[in-house]
Structure 1
Amino acid sequence: MTAPSQNTSRNTEDPLEILRRILDESDANPSSPKVTSTESSLNEDARVEKETPPVLDDLEKEISTLDLEQPLGGMPSVNQTDDDDEDERKAVPFRKISIFHKDEDDDVGEKKLVLDQILSREKPVEIAKTKKKSKLGKWVLGIFLSLFVIIGVFGALGFYFYQHAQGMIAIVREIEVSARGSYAEIKAQNLVEAKKHLLSADEKMKELHRAYSALSWTGKIPFAGSYYQDGEHTMNAGQTAIEVGELALQAIEPYADVLGFAGEGTFTGGSVENRIQLALTTLDKVMPVMDQISTKLDTINTELSMIDENRYPESVRGISIRSKITKAKQLSAQASVAIKEGRPVLEVLPSVGGADGKRKRYLVIFQNDKELRATGGFMTAYAFIFVENGVVTQEKSDDIYELDKKFAKKPAIPEILKVGLTTEKKWNLRDMNIDPDFKKSMDTFWEHFQDVPGEPHEIDGIIAMDTHVLENLVEVLGPIQVPGYGTFTAEKDKRCDCAQIIYALSEIVDRPTPYIREDRKGIIGPMMQAIISKAYDAPKSQWPTLFQSAWANVQGKHVQFYFFDEKTQKAAETVGAAGRLKAPVAGEDYLMLVDVNLGGAKSNMFVKQSVKHTVSAPQNGMVKKTVELTYKNAFPASNCNLEAGQLCLNGELTDWFRAYVPKGSVLDESLGFNTDSVKTYEEGDHMVIEGVFRVVPMGQTKITLSYQVPYTATEYRLFMQKQGGTDDVTHLFDVEGGETELKLDMDKSVVIPF
């Protein structure tokens, strides 16, 4: 191949001739790469295929000698006018050449670009001689410069946001102070001051929203926009929450005096009985406000549902973020459910309280939870009461044994009761509460009660209560004086680790005597009347605590209701006041533990329980679970010899145990039960694991259940129901190594990640 000229002067040779010469030389040299070309008309292209780059190198050297100011051969000069001979301009064909290297090297691409520009009369660009490292350096420099610009922009924006954030944080703190102040005043029963604090919070919230609106332009920025929208949803939810508070205070205000609040209530003056009557007869006026509150709570739920808490970190500088969003959603949802469930109760409350023009009669059953039975305790005594315009009066009361004496048509005793009640051949009314579902037990009880002569059969419902209610009332009202029996208090008695009133009643009712005592439970009536009288005479400052205590006892199943009116019964079931078992949610876990004392005196007074759950992640649609229950009696046994004449409270406990779990569960192992006492069976929506065990004084018994539950949820979800009459029990959960504690003081749901 001819060496390229070293002459630096401009070459005026036709560029096409140079190309032809290079290509011809390539064809003449067999060792040179094969090059093909195709002539075409003015608008046709030809492709020159090349496998190795030497020809391009030669071409580059030749091109470097060209006078690029000269027009291409066969083409008009860039300065040629339209007056020139058109035929002359078309006379000489030319060739447009594109050169490709199979490796698509960057340098080849640059040479192709220059060649195309030359042949198309465009002004050529200078071929870069720098290496790729130089390009990388430019890119890095460009990136840094761009970042500095972005940092500068964000710095300016950050300063702008910082100024706004500081102002908004100050407002948020003021809102928090006002909200806490309103809550504190409500607890202090000062309705007037509570309203003032809430009004202040309302004004500050509107101010905060105005300040936040200054950032509305960020809502159109990708990525940042979603966070701005979250703020908008939060603002809307917060404003609506304040409006809910204002409506709630508006609903309470007419009843301020009855509820013990300081404020200008509508029902001031007159006796407590008169004020309760007026409050009950005007509850229908509250319904529209309840509906408004319900609607606004739905709005809050909608606003919060638009926020994805998973976009946020768990915490920032030690302040929880994600969990607070989740908790806000949960509280809002719970409030919405409570309002919706509470409305039916308010609708029927005037009727239940005999304020609808009809006096109501109820059968009250006193359950002794120290001798635990399925619904809450041994049914030890009963009474009939009248309720008219919210005022309670007693009709009669008696020992449950006196009732059973008149019950002649007794059915055969269930086999399971024979385990402990060895002397009984027939099924007494006092032992008929064997189903933990209060309604089912009362269905059975009432069916047979109607066969008892001389007792009222026209009643509106049954109310059961245990000793927790008695103890709580004395705690709130103070010592109770019962003529002929003495004074009763809530102070702890070391002999039983229970309230003095509980031990004193046991002394009166259960201590054996060398003679037959008439009406040994005759104290029930006088004590009941003494408590009712003291409650009506209590200062109004105690009324909020009384209401709170009453509701806590309903939620803890220390008070349970059974109504014959279908609407009233449904309302009671809706708020969990009817002691019903609930069906498990498909694909989730469920548990209710039920203990029945079948012959251990009043030993449940001394036995303490603890529970541990160990749960594994689901496999093949099943969750493996182990429940360990420990029953401990740390007190010495009582002398239960009748001849000794001592109080027999603590003896060996024979416990009929049942665990209600989801239907379809499989029991793998059970430990701690009496031999051959364990069995499983289906009952309604549940599978029941049943067994019998014993706990001796100064001893403990450990029960272990290992079983599998049908499961489809992605996290551990358990709904636990509390047995009526039981103390609050702490449950420890170990879910895949993570531990959580929960106090079961009412029916509760548990959600724990696997």
Structure 2
Amino acid sequence: MFKKNQSQSNQDSSQESIQNSELNSRSSNKNADSLSQPPSSLKIEKSSKTKNFNIWPKRKSRQILLILFLLCCVFLGAVAVLTTYTYNIGRQVLSSGNEMVFSIQTANDQFKQQNLPGVEQQLLLAQEQLTQLSNQYQQLAIYNKLPWIKNYYQDGISGLTAAEHGLKAAIVAVKAITPYADVLGFEGEGSFEGGTTEDRIALLLQTLEMVTPELDEIESLLIQTEEHLSHINPERYPEKLRDVLIRDQIAQAQSTISQSIIIFQEFRPVVEQLPTIAGSSEPKKYLMLFQNNNELRPTGGFLTAYSIINLDEGKVIPEKSDDIYELDRRFNERIPIPESLGKYLTTERYWNLRDMNISPDFKKSMDTFFEHYQKVKGEPDDIDGIIAIDTHVLTRLLEILGPVELPGYGTFSAEIDPRCDCPQVVYALSEIITKPTPYLREDRKGVLGPMMQAILIKTYGAPRQHFSELFELVWNSIQGKNLQMYFVDDQLQLAAENAGAAGRMKAPEQGDFLAIVDANLGGAKSNLFTESEVLYLVDGPDNGFITATLEITYRNSRKADNCNLEAGQLCLNAPAPTWNRLYLPSGSQLIDALGFSQEPTTYEELGLLVIDGFFTLDPLGMAKIRVSYQVPYELPEYQLSIWKQGGVKPYKMIVDVNGNQAELLIDRDTTYEDRF
């Protein structure tokens, strides 16, 4: 019985164990299934301890969602309000800005019309509009508190401050020149309206030094303008927005003000030294040279004639004049002709004064010329400087002032003469000076002096509306090297160089450089009928070098004249033996040269490499030279400085940098920049 019961008990225990094992297995499987489900499917078993617990109470969830919704509404509302506010202020700023720009453009138009009161009125109006614009813009000061956006807001403040200084500089400049309005050919209540033009010029020179404080203020304002513009980083802005080149315009504004400061600082010594140059404190004596650019030479033309003039308080008093051959006749020095010139100018054994302008650098040539001129007997020993002009200056003077009559010589004008399809003054002077005659013509020796005196008399009596044209002529002639100056006094020479009036050629510190210098060594006046064009190809950079290919095409448009002396006819056009020199950056290496009559030579001069060659251009003919060379180059972008020879007509030049072409008109020294 006991065993039976024990056995039964064992059986019950065994069954219970099996049941517990099954329950454990089911529980284990249930737990495994529960773990394998995603968190969202987890079920929380209720017990007496967890009966009322919930992780996200419904009421609290609704409160949080409501708060988030309200915050979004507030944010969106604030954005909407700020956007509307910004839009309205932006419209006001844009409107005021357009009004200010219109006033500045109107001031510029008034200046072109020589109306100084109108210029000042529009500048003052623009200044008021700028104040209104600044006040409106400052209503957006909230953006100065926002990260990232504040940079753009501060750029606007910098631009407005720069505009304020720039406008003030313009107003000070206008007020500074207003007293000279009459003399300068402007409308306005000038201080020099009484007396003759000579009297007004004398008074102007005496009072010029009084404008020095205004010059100081203008320079200071320009520097402040540059400083504020420099705070703007163009790289923060897109290159283009609705076809407007935003980034380039910002960079251009910064570059323009920087260049303006450089020009102002370089030109200021001219204003300060002008009274001295014009003989305000004591009379000055100058040697005036006439360079005939129709017979081109390195400084601008063949030295045809000369004159001695005195300047006393701005009044020009001619002393004497003669042709260059008479000066050479009295030059007793027998200097062997330099080899560089003599190998091409084979008709001369000795170096004459008329051929001493062989350097394209006007100062260097005049150093040589003046040294030997002082040895000529009968010439003044108190010369203060040299002023050189060419036929372009004479022609433009006659275009502005009208014809002049010279007793014993006839009438000279700028009208086109059908005998040469050139200005009448050019043909008439050529007849007087160069036409062969079977008799001795004394009248050919002194034409320059009387002509300049007649032109000056007409200038002094000209209506004041011509004065601005005359000042423009002087400025353009200086930039084109049709008018060049050389002074014995170092300070006056420095002033001329700073104004670009000294005809200097200086090697650039960096970048590419090109100067084309031609000399007509016996081709009559054939440059009158010669045109040229230039193609300049640049490849690279590669291993610290760029490769340049220069192609120059010369064309003569007129048939040859009868230049036989026995024929006694005027010889203007004949085959032109041409000495050609190309000035390139130091360290350049010649690769190939075509079109020269013989192999060109290379050497260093003026801190530059020179390629020296020779060719002949025939009437109705064409000549082409093509030169390839390497230039050491380290700048990340391409920069080319083009030096224009004095006396050369403006010519077209195509620059191609790795396939990107640009067409330039070279009528003065020019700088071109491009990306590689």
Instruction: State if a TM-score over 0.5 links the two structures.
Output: yes
Q: Which residue of 2 aligns with 1:338?
A: 263
Decide whether the 8 Å contact of 1:399 with 1:519 is kept in 2: no
- Name the CA distance, whole Å, in 2 between partners of 1:504 and 1:63: 114
Question: Is the contact made by 1:625 and 1:708 (CA closer than 8 Å) also made in structure 2?
Answer: yes
Aligned to 1:306: 231
**Contact 1:178/1:201 (CA < 8 Å) preserved in 2?**
yes
**Which structure shows the bigger proportion of residues in helix conformation?**
2
Are the aligned partners of 2:198 and 2:315 in contact in 1 as well (CA < 8 Å)?
A: yes
Alpha-carbon distance between aligned partners in 2 of 1:65 and 1:510, rounded to the nearest angstrom: 121
Query: 1:137 is matched with which residue?
Result: none
Contact 2:505 2:606 in 1 (8 A): no
1:714 maps to what in 2? 636
Shift of 1:416: 3.3
Q: Is the 8 A contact 1:185 1:191 kept in 2?
A: yes
Provide the C-alpha distance between the structure 1 equivalents of 2:197 and 2:654, rounded to a whole number of angstroms: 45
Q: 1:696 to 1:146 in 2, by over 3 A?
A: farther
Q: Give the equivalent residue in structure 2 for 1:133.
A: none
Please tell me whether residue 600 in structure 1 is matched to residue 547 in structure 2: no
Does 2:98 align with 1:173?
yes
Say if 2:561 and 2:573, in contact at 8 Å, map to a contact too. Answer: yes
Amino acid at match of 1:269: G
8 Å CA contact retained: 1:584, 1:685: no
- Give the Cα separation in 2 of the matches to 1:746 and 1:293: 27
Deviations 1:518-574 (A, max 9, x none): 242322121111001000111111111111111110111111111111111111111
Equivalent residue of 1:433, what SS? coil
Counterpart-to-counterpart distance in 1, 2:654 and 2:361: 25
CA offset digits 1:463-505 (Å, max 9, x no partner):
1111111011111112222222222222233443422211121
Q: Which structure 2 residues correspond to residues 551-700 of structure 1 after superposition, within 5 A?
A: 551-586=475-510, 588-676=511-599, 678-700=600-622
User: Does residue 1:273 correspond to 2:198, yes or no?
Assistant: yes
For 1:398 and 1:722, the matched residues in 2 are separated by 29
Give the corresponding residue for 1:66. Answer: 45
CA distance change for structure 1 residues 60 and 189 in 2, over 3 Å: closer, same or farther?
closer
- Offset of residue 673 of structure 1: 0.5
Aligned partner of 2:4 in structure 1 is none
Q: Per-residue CA shift, 1:354-402, capped at 9, x if unaligned? A: 101x111011111110111110100011111100101111000001000
SS of structure 2 residue aligned to 1:215: helix
1:147 & 1:633 partners in 2: Cα distance? 80
Per-residue deviation, 1:161: 2.6
Counterpart of 1:476 in structure 2 is: 400
Go from structure 1 to structure 2 and tell me whether the alpha carbon gap of 1:614 and 1:151 turns closer, same or farther (over 3 Å shift).
farther
In structure 2, the residue matched to 1:243 is 168
Query: Hey, what does 1:743 align to over in structure 2?
Result: 665
Match of 1:522 in 2: 446
1:628 and 1:147, CA in 2 relative to 1: closer, same or farther beyond 3 A?
A: farther
Matches of residues 503-542 of structure 1 in structure 2 within 5 Å?
503-542=427-466
Distance change (3 Å), C-alpha of 1:415 and 1:54:
same
Where do 5+ consecutive residues of structure 2 fail to align? 1-20, 58-67
> Which residue identity does 1:535 align to in structure 2?
T
Tell whether the 8 Å contact from 1:660 to 1:689 is kept in structure 2 after alignment.
yes
Contact 1:345–1:571 under 8 Å retained in 2: yes
Secondary structure of the 1:398 match is: strand
Single out whichever of 500-509 and 604-613 deviates more from structure 2: 500-509
Report the Cα offset of residue 25 of structure 1.
7.5
| 1:190-205 correspondence to structure 2 within 5 Å | 190-205=115-130
Aligned counterpart, 2:107: 182
Q: Note closer, same or farther for the CA distance 1:153–1:502 as it changes in structure 2 (3 Å cut).
A: farther
- Alpha carbons of 1:213 and 1:537: their partners in 2 closer, same or farther (altered >3 Å)? same
**1:74 corresponds to:** none
Higher relative contact order (CA 8 A, sep 6+): 2
Structure 1 residues 12-51: aligned runs within 5 Å: none
Distance change (3 Å), C-alpha of 1:164 and 1:63? closer
> In the alignment, what sits opposite 2:13?
none
Q: Whole-Å Cα distance in 1 between the matches of residues 506 and 77 of structure 2?
A: 61
Partner of 1:703 in structure 2? 625
Question: Which residue in the other structure is 2:654 paired with?
Answer: 732
TM-score between the two structures when normalised by the length of structure 1: 0.81
Pair 1:69–1:516, CA change in 2 (3 A): farther
Deviations 1:614-658 (A, max 9, x none): 111311110111111100112111111112221111111111111
- In the aligned structure 1, how far is the partner of 2:32 from the partner of 2:158? 65
Q: Give the structure 1 partner of residue 354 of structure 2.
A: 430
Identity across matched positions, percent: 47
Structure 2 residue matching 1:713: 3-state secondary structure? coil
SS at match of 1:526: helix
- 1:548 and 2:472 aligned: yes
Structure 2 counterpart SS, 1:425: coil
Q: Secondary structure at the match of 2:546?
A: strand
Report the more deviating stretch, 710-719 or 152-161.
152-161
Contact 2:598–2:613 (CA under 8 A) maintained in structure 1? no
Give the 3 Å change call, closer, same or farther, for CA 153–616 of structure 1 in structure 2: farther
Equivalent residue for 1:117?
Answer: none
The equivalent residue for 2:62 is: none
Aligned match of 2:143: 218
| Structure 1 residue 158: Cα displacement | 3.6
Give the drift of 1:69.
5.2
Aligned CA RMSD, in angstroms, stands at 2.9
CA distance 1:157–1:441, shift in 2 (3 Å): same
Which structure 1 residue ranges, 5 or more long, are not aligned?
Answer: 1-20, 33-51, 72-76, 79-122, 128-142
Partner amino acid, structure 2, of 1:716: Y
Query: Normalising to structure 2: TM-score of the pair?
Result: 0.90
Deviates more, 1:155-164 or 1:267-276: 155-164
Q: Could you tell me which amino acid in structure 2 is paired with residue 161 of structure 1?
A: T
Whole-Å separation in 1 of the counterparts to 2:576 and 2:257: 44
1:411 matched to 2:390: no
Output the amino acid matched with 2:201: I
Larger Rg: 1
293-302 vs 185-194, which moves further: 185-194
Partner-residue secondary structure (3-state), 2:661? strand
- 8 Å contact from structure 1 (residues 417, 598) kept in 2: no
Mapped partners of 2:111, 2:354: distance in 1:
44
Is 2:35 the partner of 1:56?
yes
Q: Does the CA-based 8 Å contact 1:479-1:488 persist in structure 2?
A: yes
Name the CA distance, whole Å, in 2 between partners of 1:493 and 1:296: 51
Measure the CA separation in 2 of the matches of 1:60 and 1:190: 86
How many residue pairs align between the two structures?
645
Check 1:398–1:223 CA distance in 2 against 1; reply closer, same or farther (3 A cut). same
2:608 is matched by which residue type in structure 1?
H
Alpha-carbon separation, structure 2, partners of 1:646 and 1:714: 58
Alignment of 1:21-420 (within 5 A): 56-57=35-36, 64=43, 66-67=45-46, 70=49, 125=55, 156-356=81-281, 358-420=282-344
